[in-house]
């Protein structure tokens, strides 16, 4: 048995320079299962010739590399530690200022809204219908409409978006068609929302004859946020290590089982974060819902997806465009309601995400 | 070349003129070798010699690598694994695999082991199966009181043994191991090696390793691969003490690799 010999070979890598070339390629080749295809394909070629030459060379088996003289001359370096540290400090300050600009603007906006609207924000305000008398006007149908539209939008866009992302990441072959689809989804995310409004009007309201309804608005907003949900979900699915998939396959899992039981639960927090952010955008949109026919004055709360509707952003727009100061205060109060709705949604998202994470 | 060697005893797995290409580049070239049942067979060779690729042929994991194509036959108990009508999902349940880096699912210890049996329609006593699997992977005593805690809280060596337990839980006949100890410290490695020695009573084990001492310690037969070919294959003791090929000798004595 050549036990001792073998030991020497395996454990004295660093003191054995000729092997360096081969061993260096080792970790990258073996390290992960993810880039297996390329590693497996390319590794044998470059590694092969060198050892072969050595083997044939026979005796000693050492390849002497030409060594360059090592000079240790301090004058050849100018570390300038102080200067580099200063740059670091300046950079940190610039980043801090960038953060502060955003925070200050946002704080100003919030303070302004709360100063104008806080006094108008009462339970009656939430529970009354619009009126041409500011003292009697309320936000009830707009709030209900926003919740209706939001709920339907989520129901429509979540399965479509996540389904698309799963197909693109887990099933689609890597070909020209897939790449074209992915590129166009990214482009769609940049289309102005008013264009989606026009599409919704032509397609859902007129062609499908759904009318100026909650459903038409939800379908339009679902289209609007679909690209964002797809891209966020794709990223979340991509972030699941391939070793998890391989581990599932190696136990005899089908592709569906690997996705359902291993990939999706891991990707779900990311998918939900993306979806909630997208829905937050949808809830604040006024332009597309105006296009599909949100009403400026609504004296009832929608009770089915095919009812007429209005939403908070449109109510705000409506009030702001009136001359009376009181209506401007109502608009500010409605903004606070919208912010509260958003916060509730984000809170729910965080709660859901933590629940998922805890299971892991 | 002594590429085809016939070990004693019934043959469990056989590669017959097996080649693998990645996008046209050959990784395994016409390999033929026979693996006896209830033995440990080690594949050794320098990085990129195709030993892992060859290993993955035996449970059709290469199917999952884009651009990989396999020709020839990989025969398991007389049946070609690449024959028509063979479902890779079924192959992988009967021929399990342990990977280089421990890859436990981010779930509880219990659920890690239970996943395979569940998807494969296990109808027996799950708790008992979990205990048996963990015992046979030499992990039970360390985790029996915390089966519900996350597998990610285990040490690297424990995680790898959990992955072995998970593999055993679907009751495979063969266990393939792709450098199972290379990411572990010496003590964890020793436990894995002891475990491999135990496993061969009930399973056929094929292990890929960079570590020649490890091959010498745990295996009954060793194949030395180089640039996609089996240079030499035979009883481990003979291959390490008296190799017939110059290249084998050069590799095991450290002249290259």
Instruction: Give the mean model confidence (pLDDT) for residues A76-84.
Output: 91
Q: Specify the CATH number for the domain of residue B177.
A: 3.40.50.300
Mean pLDDT of chain A: 82
Reported as a single tens digit per residue, the pLDDT across A87-138 is 999 999 999 999 999 999 999 999 999 999 998 888 888 888 888 888 888 8
Evaluate whether residue B115 is within a structural domain. no
Q: What percent of chain A is modeled with pLDDT above 70?
A: 81
- A28-32, A283-287, B47-51: least confidently modelled range: A28-32
- A131-140, A190-199, B51-60: least confidently modelled range: A131-140
Which pLDDT score is estimated for B162? 97
* Rounded alpha-carbon distances, angstroms, from residue B205 to A72, B34, B39, B151, B240: 53, 13, 6, 25, 19
The tally of domains found in chain B comes to 1
Which pLDDT score is estimated for A28? 40
Q: Please judge whether B46 and A22 are an interchain contact, meaning their C-beta atoms are less than 8 angstroms apart.
A: yes
Which pLDDT score is estimated for B257? 56
pLDDT band at B254 (very low <50, low <70, confident <90, very high): confident
Measure the N-to-C terminal CA separation of chain A; round to a whole number of Å: 47
| Cross-chain CB nearest to B47 (options A43, A52, A241) | A43
Q: What percent of chain A is modeled with pLDDT above 90?
A: 52
| Beta partners for residue B48, in sequence order | none
The phi, psi pair for A157, rounded to 5°, reads -80, -30
Instruction: Give the mean model confidence (pLDDT) for residues A331-336.
Output: 94
Residues of B in contact with A48 (CB under 8 A): 48, 227
Flag whether pLDDT at A2 surpasses 70: no
Q: How many CA atoms lie within 13 A of A258 on its CB side?
A: 22
Which pLDDT score is estimated for A62? 54
- How do the domains of chain A map onto residue ranges? 82-120, 123-359
Structure tokens at A140: 């009830």
The answer to whether the CB of A288 falls within 8 A of the CB of A205 is: no
Nearest residue to A146 (alpha-carbon basis) of A17, A289, A12:
A289
Which pLDDT score is estimated for B101? 94
ipTM field: 0.93
Flag whether pLDDT at A189 surpasses 70: yes
Query: Cα–Cα distance between B86 and B198 in angstroms, integer?
Result: 30
The answer to whether the CB of A247 falls within 8 A of the CB of B105 is: yes
pLDDT band at B2 (very low <50, low <70, confident <90, very high): very low
- Tell me the nearest-neighbour CA distance from A252 into chain B, angstroms: 4
- Tell me the nearest-neighbour CA distance from A205 into chain B, angstroms: 45
Evaluate whether residue B232 is within a structural domain. yes
Which pLDDT score is estimated for A248? 97
Domain A123-359 has CATH 1.10.3720.10: yes
Which pLDDT score is estimated for A95? 97
Measure the N-to-C terminal CA separation of chain B; round to a whole number of Å: 20
Evaluate whether residue B114 is within a structural domain. no
Q: Quick one: DSSP state of residue A118?
A: G
Evaluate whether residue B135 is within a structural domain. no
The answer to whether the CB of B223 falls within 8 A of the CB of B44 is: yes
* Rounded alpha-carbon distances, angstroms, from residue A260 to A174, A224, A267, A349: 22, 27, 11, 21
Evaluate whether residue B1 is within a structural domain. no
| Beta partners for residue B2, in sequence order | B232
Flag whether pLDDT at A30 surpasses 50: no
| Cross-chain CB nearest to B179 (options A23, A30, A41) | A30
**How many C-beta neighbours within 10 Å does residue B148 have?**
10
Flag whether pLDDT at A47 surpasses 90: no
**How many C-beta neighbours within 10 Å does residue B90 have?**
13
HEC profile of chain B: CECCCCCCCCEEEEEEEEEEEECCEEEEEEEEEEEECCCEEEEECCCCCCHHHHHHHCCCHHHHCCCEEEEEEEEECCEECCCCCCCHHHHHHHEEEECCCCCCCCCEHHHHHHHHHHHCCCCCCHHHHHHHHHHHCCCHHHHCCCCCCEHHHCCHHHHHHHHHHHHHCCCCCEEEEECCCCCCCHHHHHHHHHHHHHHCCCCEEEEECCCHHHHHHHCCEEEEEECCEEEEEEEHHHHHHCCCCHHHHHHHCCCCC
Q: Please judge whether B105 and A241 are an interchain contact, meaning their C-beta atoms are less than 8 angstroms apart.
A: no
Interface test with B, best of A243, A247, A263, A264 (most B CBs within 10 A): A247
Q: Quick one: DSSP state of residue A201?
A: I
A25–B contact, CB cutoff 8 A: yes
Instruction: Give the mean model confidence (pLDDT) for residues A189-203.
Output: 93
pLDDT band at A235 (very low <50, low <70, confident <90, very high): very high
Residues of B in contact with A252 (CB under 8 A): 89-90, 92-93, 116, 119-120, 170
Which pLDDT score is estimated for B5? 59
Which pLDDT score is estimated for A360? 52
Collect all residues with Cβ–Cβ distance below 8 Å to A288 and sequence separation of at least 6: A193, A194, A196, A197, A200, A217, A220, A221, A224
Mean pLDDT of chain B: 92
The answer to whether the CB of A278 falls within 8 A of the CB of A252 is: no
Query: Cα–Cα distance between A20 and B248 in angstroms, integer?
Result: 19
Evaluate whether residue B131 is within a structural domain. no
Instruction: Give the mean model confidence (pLDDT) for residues B57-84.
Output: 93
Query: Cα–Cα distance between B89 and B71 in angstroms, integer?
Result: 19
Reported as a single tens digit per residue, the pLDDT across A237-257 is 999 999 999 999 999 999 999
Flag whether pLDDT at A267 surpasses 90: yes
Evaluate whether residue B147 is within a structural domain. no
Flag whether pLDDT at A7 surpasses 70: no
| Cross-chain CB nearest to A37 (options B68, B92, B170) | B68
Q: Please judge whether A16 and B52 are an interchain contact, meaning their C-beta atoms are less than 8 angstroms apart.
A: no
Which pLDDT score is estimated for A220? 95
Reported as a single tens digit per residue, the pLDDT across B196-252 is 999 999 999 999 998 899 999 999 999 999 999 999 999 999 999 999 999 999 998
The answer to whether the CB of A267 falls within 8 A of the CB of A233 is: yes
Long-range contacts: B130-138, Cβ < 8 Å, 24+? Answer: B130/B169, B133/B165, B133/B166, B133/B168, B133/B169, B134/B109, B134/B162, B134/B165, B136/B165, B136/B168, B136/B198, B136/B199, B136/B202, B137/B161, B137/B162, B137/B164, B137/B165, B137/B168, B137/B195, B138/B191, B138/B194, B138/B195, B138/B198
Instruction: Give the mean model confidence (pLDDT) for residues A213-220.
Output: 94
| Beta partners for residue B221, in sequence order | B41, B235
Which residues between 235 and 264 in chain A have a beta carbon less than 8 angstroms from any beta carbon of chain B?
Answer: 241, 243-254, 257, 261-262
Which structural domain range is residue B202 located in?
A: 11-102+173-252
B228, closest residue in chain A (CA to CA)? A44
Which residues between 207 and 226 in chain A have a beta carbon less than 8 angstroms from any beta carbon of chain B?
Answer: none
pLDDT band at A61 (very low <50, low <70, confident <90, very high): very low
Strands B11-22 and B68-76: antiparallel
Collect all residues with Cβ–Cβ distance below 8 Å to A217 and sequence separation of at least 6: A149, A200, A288, A289, A292, A293, A294, A309, A311
A172–B contact, CB cutoff 8 A: no
Which pLDDT score is estimated for A195? 94
A51–B contact, CB cutoff 8 A: yes
A46, closest residue in chain B (CA to CA)? B48
* Rounded alpha-carbon distances, angstroms, from residue B28 to A97, B20, B71: 58, 5, 10
Q: Give the Cα-Cα-Cα angle A302, A307, A313 (nearest 5 degrees).
A: 65
- Tell me the nearest-neighbour CA distance from A235 into chain B, angstroms: 19
Which pLDDT score is estimated for A12? 39
pTM summary value: 0.79
Residues of A in contact with B64 (CB under 8 A): 245-246, 249
Evaluate whether residue B109 is within a structural domain. no
């Amino acid at each position: 048995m050549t036990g001792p010999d073998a030991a020497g070979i395996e454990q004295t890598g660093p003191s054995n320079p000729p092997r360096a070339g081969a061993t260096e390629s080792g970790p990258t080749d073996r390290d992960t299962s993810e880039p297996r295809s390329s590693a497996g394909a390319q590794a044998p070629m470059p590694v092969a010739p060198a050892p072969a030459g050595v083997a044939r060379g026979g005796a000693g088996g050492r390849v002497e590399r030409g060594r360059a003289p090592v000079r240790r001359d301090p004058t050849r370096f100018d570390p300038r530690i102080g200067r580099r540290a200063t740059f670091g400090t300046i950079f940190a300050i610039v980043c801090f200022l960038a953060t502060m600009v955003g925070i200050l603007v946002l704080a100003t906006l919030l303070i302004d809204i709360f100063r104008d609207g806080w006094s108008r924000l009462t339970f009656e305000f939430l529970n009354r219908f619009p009126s041409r008398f500011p003292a009697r006007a309320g936000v009830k149908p707009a709030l209900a409409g926003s919740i209706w539209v939001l709920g339907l939008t989520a129901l429509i866009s979540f399965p479509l978006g996540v389904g698309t992302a799963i197909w693109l990441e887990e099933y689609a072959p890597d070909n020209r068609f897939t790449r074209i689809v992915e590129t166009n989804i990214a482009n769609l995310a940049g289309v102005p929302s008013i264009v989606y409004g026009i599409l919704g009007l032509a397609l859902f309201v007129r062609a499908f004859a759904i009318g100026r309804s909650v459903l038409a608005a939800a379908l339009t907003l679902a289209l609007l946020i679909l690209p964002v949900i797809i891209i966020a979900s794709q990223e979340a699915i991509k972030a699941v290590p391939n070793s998890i998939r391989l581990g599932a396959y190696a136990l005899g899992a089908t592709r569906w089982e690997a996705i359902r039981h291993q990939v999706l639960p891991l990707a779900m927090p990311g998918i939900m974060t993306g979806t909630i952010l997208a829905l937050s955008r949808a809830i604040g949109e006024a332009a597309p819902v105006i296009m599909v026919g949100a009403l400026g004055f609504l004296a009832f709360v929608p009770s089915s997806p095919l009812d007429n509707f209005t939403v908070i952003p449109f109510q705000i727009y409506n009030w702001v465009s009136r001359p009376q100061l009181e209506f401007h205060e109502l608009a500010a109060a409605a903004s606070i309601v919208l912010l509260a709705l958003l916060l509730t949604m984000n809170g729910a998202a965080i709660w859901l995400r933590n629940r998922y994470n805890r299971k892991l | 070349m002594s590429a085809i060697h016939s070990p004693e005893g019934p043959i469990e797995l056989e590669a017959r003129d097996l080649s693998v290409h990645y996008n046209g580049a050959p990784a395994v070239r016409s390999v033929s070798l026979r693996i006896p049942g209830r033995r440990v067979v080690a594949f050794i060779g320098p990085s990129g010699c195709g030993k892992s690729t060859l290993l993955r042929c035996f449970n059709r994991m290469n199917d999952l690598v884009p651009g990989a194509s396999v020709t020839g036959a990989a025969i398991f108990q007389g049946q070609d694994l690449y024959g028509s009508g063979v479902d890779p999902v079924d192959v992988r349940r009967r021929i399990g695999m342990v990977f280089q880096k421990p890859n436990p699912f981010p779930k509880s210890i219990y659920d890690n082991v239970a996943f395979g049996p569940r998807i494969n329609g296990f109808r027996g006593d799950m708790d008992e199966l979990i205990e048996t699997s963990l015992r046979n992977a030499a992990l039970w005593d360390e985790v029996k009181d915390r089966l519900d805690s996350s597998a990610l809280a285990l040490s690297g060596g424990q995680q790898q043994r959990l992955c072995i337990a998970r593999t055993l839980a679907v009751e495979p006949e063969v266990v393939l191991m792709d450098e199972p100890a290379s990411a572990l410290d010496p003590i964890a490695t020793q436990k894995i090696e002891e475990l491999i020695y135990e496993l061969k009573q009930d399973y056929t084990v094929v292990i890929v390793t960079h570590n020649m001492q490890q091959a010498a310690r745990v295996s009954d037969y060793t194949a030395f691969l180089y640039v996609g070919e089996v240079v030499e294959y035979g009883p481990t003791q003979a291959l390490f003490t008296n190799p017939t090929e110059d290249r084998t000798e050069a590799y095991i004595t450290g002249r290259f690799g």
